[in-house]
Structure 1
Amino acid sequence: MPSVMTRWLDVPRIQDPVDRRNAPMLQVVLGLLASIPPLLWAYRVFGSGLAWRPGETASLVTSLVISAIALWSLVLIRRGRFQWAIRQMLVVVAAMMLVSYAMAGLMSHTFEQPIQVMWLFVAGMMVGRRALWAMFAVLVAAMVLGGHSDATRTGEPLSEAMADVGVRTVMFLLITIVVDRTSSALRNSLSEATRQAVTLADTNRRLSDEIVARERAQAQLLHAQKVEAVGRMASGVAHDFNHLLTLMLGYVERGRRSRDISEIDAVLGGLEMAVRRATAITHKLLAFARNDARQLERFDAVDALREIVPMLRQTLGPRIPLELDLPDTAVPIMFDRAQFALAVLNLTANAAQAMPEGGRFSLVLGSPDADGHVRLDAVDTGHGIPDELQAQIFEPFFTTRPPGEGTGLGLAVVAGLMADAGGSLTVDSAPGQGARFSMRLPVVPAPEPERAAA
């Protein structure tokens, strides 16, 4: 938690981030400048007991004026006018230095020159290079005026006074160069950081837009593949409905011929069962094809596989038998049930296309392993996949089929669904030896029954 003083020094009214960052330090400097010089002069006048030297009156007036301006600049900063306050302070300081050196001489400012170094730092760090070198030029001009004043007042040769000015000028020049290089490096670093921040923000915005577009495209693709799968199942569904309609017509004909109440009840019961079966088929088709958001649920993978067996057989066709190797116990997983069916259908369709002249296809569901995962293998006896293509088959739009016969999206969709669920999809294949696609999914253990209260 920031202290009370830190919170007070922060000035939210200052809009520029750099000025706002510099404001606390400058307020401290101005506060010290507004308070310490008057205290030192009070000690000099009332507590030191030293004789008053020529020129000290001008130094006293100059110092007190600068302290007053520092206090006013502090007020301006509190009102959010940072640059106005600092520039005003520097202009007043420069003018007062010229007047004070011209009136009091160079030697009387010897003990104040460390404070004048501070104004070089303030000008360079908080305003810029021009202000820094302008302040240096003012300081050199003030020292020249002070040296001339000392020579005139004491009668010493002007050359000796100017030699002292030259030594001090070299000292301040070195300090100014250091401040200039330091402030330039800081400004360049800040500009580079600002450019990188802007670039990073633009990149992040584009990435966010791309992610949203990708998620939207993936959702549309999933829906399209569901509809495509429903289309492939249309003939099988029509066959099932034809059986149900034939069964219903048989019950109706049977009911027309019967006058026995118990027989009519049996007919009505049979009709109800047939209607319920037709309704269940319709609801499953609608649930599978709808474009809803992902609905995670805990379900038994064994039941889910048995439920879609008719769709799998219709996808494979009459030349490819379907073999199931499922455990006797339940295998609970957390997944979208419709997307799980879609993933299995995609692998089944991929196997069917790999065996145009027939073959065998099997689904093998293992038992949960020690890591809490279960593996579902889709095994076919097709033409296999070369080693150089196995790293590409999960890439979107990659396909080895002729144009119009494949989109290259089926395996990419399955891999994406597995990754989203915290699983994986791998392939083990060789040319002429078929392929084994392995889906590895986390198992969700059954919740422990709550203990009855004692």
Structure 2
Amino acid sequence: MPEPVTPAVSLPDRAMLPRGLGARTDAMLCGLWLLLAGFHPLMAFWLLQGPSVGVDSMVPVLAGLQLLLCVGCLVVQRRGQGVAAAGAFVLGQLLLLSVAYGYWGLAAQVRQQLLQVVPILLVAALLGARPLRWATLWLCAVMVAGAWVDLAGNLFRSERVPQVVVQLGACVFGSALVAWLLHHSVTALRESLQLAEQHGADLARKRDQLQLEMQEKERSRDQLVHAMKMENVGRLASGIAHDFNHLLGLIHGYVAKARRSQDLPAVAEALQGVDSAARRASAVSRRLLDFSRLEAGRPQLLDAADAIEAMAPMLRQVFDLGIACRVDTGQVRCRIHFDPAQLELILLSLAVNASQAMPDGGSFDLELALVAEGGELAIRARDTGQGMSEEVRARCLEPFFTTKPVGQGTGLGLAVSASLVAAASGRIQVESRSGHGTCVEIRLPALALE
């Protein structure tokens, strides 16, 4: 659905303008006033030194006033009063032009009229539509007064009237045309600036929204990973309980031996056995707690073979007695950049899936191999289970896709595993046929051990 078009905003009046006109506008006005402050005194000096006719004492007076006006506006603007400085410039220039046209008339000002009119109308246009309108009317009135001075100086002779009227019409029309062009140009620029600022605000808002969505997505993935951990912890519970029962049996046996023995070396040996069994039990419980804890991923450089060999006892707890579990690192020595807890989660999830695919027994092999051409480590998990059809294999990495009965699977195991592997710049490949088992291969960038 297309977004609604933002209506054009009318040009604000001077009363609605902020204290400043903007950094670029202020810089432009400073340059303008500096140029005018130097130009008018130079022109007055040149006229007074040259052989021009009709130059009197009013020229340096007006040039000095122009200089004072420009310097004063520059000082006021430097103090942060940009709007006040611009208004003072327009008003002061109009007053000086009124004096000049009233003193010399219209004809004497025609040659330098462009230099006189354009700066006034430009600054008035920056102030707003109303100041520009009043400045244009004032200029037209000043020109009419100057034409009246010309006619009065020629005693209103009939042959001079058409010439003065044509000259007055051209000057008034030119001033009005310049004001009209400046008004529409400044209005268009301001509206374009407003639209650009609005689009920038929209982009910033969408950027913030996208960042929130990304953070929410990361939180959701962490929650899914934790849910998978807890699901696998439940499956590990029976095997870990068996280990704990065995360790508790050892502890009870050592305690009974210590009670029956009166020999201090035998008692010390029994206590050492109790301590060893308790340490093993603590290691098992700590490993289970670390695995089930909800934490953000912490990738690090791992020795792949050592990390997988350390997981072998936990993987064997997943399978029943009728399933053989073999872990073969193949003398592979390399490092991978991966989070240890996430690697355990992925391999444990693969082991759980393999166990469920072999209800009548079978074998599960976990192998490591280096792929020479890609500089990658291949982790292959093979089972001799029921396998998957081609349709199921093509969709097995999709989130929430599962062939298990309701309540026995979420369809997130392989999907989350693929997401974690992809985040580490790796990939997962699944090969399977119905009745011929499944092979899941994980490829990760590998670094040689130094």
CA distance in 2, matches of 1:114, 1:388: 82
Distance 1:405 1:64, change over 3 A: farther
Offset of 1:177 from its aligned partner?
4.2
Moved more, 334-343 or 410-419: 410-419
Asked if 1:149 corresponds to 2:153, the answer is no
Q: Which residue of 2 aligns with 1:223?
A: 226
Whole-Å separation in 2 of the counterparts to 1:431 and 1:73: 89
Mapping for residues 245-394 of structure 1, pairs under 5 Å: 245-259=248-262, 263-317=266-320, 321-352=324-355, 361-380=364-383, 381-384=385-388, 390=394, 393-394=397-398
Larger RCO (CA under 8 A, 6+ residues apart): 2
- Residue 446 of structure 1 aligns with which residue? 449
* Residue 383 to residue 129, structure 1, CA distance change in 2 (3 Å): farther
CA contact (8 A) 1:327 1:367 kept: no
2:52 to 25, 50, 53: 50
Aligned partner of 1:193 in structure 2 is 196
**CA 1:97 to 1:427, structure 2 compared with 1: closer, same or farther past 3 Å?**
farther
Distance in 1, matches of 2:357 and 2:124, equals 77
Identity %: 34
Using structure 1 for the length normalisation, give the TM-score: 0.81
Pick closer, same or farther for the CA change 1:109–1:351 going to 2, 3 Å.
farther
* Match of residue 182 from structure 1: 185
What secondary structure, in the 3-state scheme, does the structure 1 residue paired with 2:111 have? helix
Structure 1 residues 16, 91: CA separation in 2 closer, same or farther (over 3 Å shift)?
Answer: closer
Letter in 1 for 2:397: I
Q: Structure 1, residues 347-370: CA drift from partner, whole Å, max 9, x if none?
A: 333445566676654433221534
CA apart distance, 1:441 = 1.8
SS of corresponding position for 1:364: strand
1:49 is displaced (CA, Å) by 3.0
Q: Does the 8 A contact of 1:101 with 1:145 survive in 2? A: yes
Cα 1:92–1:18 shift into 2, 3 Å: closer
Normalising by structure 2, report the TM-score. 0.82
Q: Distance in 2 between matches of 1:324 and 1:422?
A: 24
In the alignment, the residues of structure 2 paired with residue 399 and residue 168 of structure 1 have an alpha-carbon distance, to the nearest angstrom, of 85
* 1:37 has 2:52 as partner: no
Q: Aligned partners of 1:186, 1:62: CA distance in 2, in Å? A: 34
Q: Tell me how far apart the structure 2 counterparts of residues 325 and 306 of structure 1 sit (CA, whole Å).
A: 8
Shift in alpha-carbon separation, 1:432–1:20, aligned structure 2, 3 A = farther
1:361–1:378 Cα contact (<8 Å) kept: yes
1:148 and 1:158 in contact (8 A); partners too: no
The aligned residue for residue 163 of structure 2 is: 160
Residue 3 (structure 2) aligns with: none
Question: What's the counterpart of residue 8 of structure 1?
Answer: none
Residue 60 of structure 2 is aligned to residue 91 of structure 1: no
* SS at structure 2 position matched to 1:285: helix
Alpha-carbon distance change, 226 to 136 in structure 1, aligned in 2, over 3 angstroms: same
1:173 Cα shift?
A: 4.3
Q: In the comparison of the two structures, how many residue pairs are matched?
A: 429
- How far did residue 340 of structure 1 move? 1.1
Specify which of 213, 229, 234 is matched with residue 216 of structure 2: 213
Deviation track 1:215-258 (CA, whole Å, cap 9, x = no partner) reads 33333433343233222211100001111222233333344444
Change (3 A) 1:319 1:61: farther
The residue type equivalent to 2:278 in the other structure is: V
Q: Distance in 2 between matches of 1:182 and 1:370?
A: 64
**Does 1:423 find its partner at 2:426?**
yes
Q: 1:376 to 1:401 in 2, by over 3 A?
A: same
Could you tell me which runs of 5 or more consecutive residues in structure 2 were left unpaired when the two chains were aligned.
1-16
Q: Distance in 1 between matches of 2:408 and 2:443?
A: 28
Which amino acid is 1:93 matched to? Q
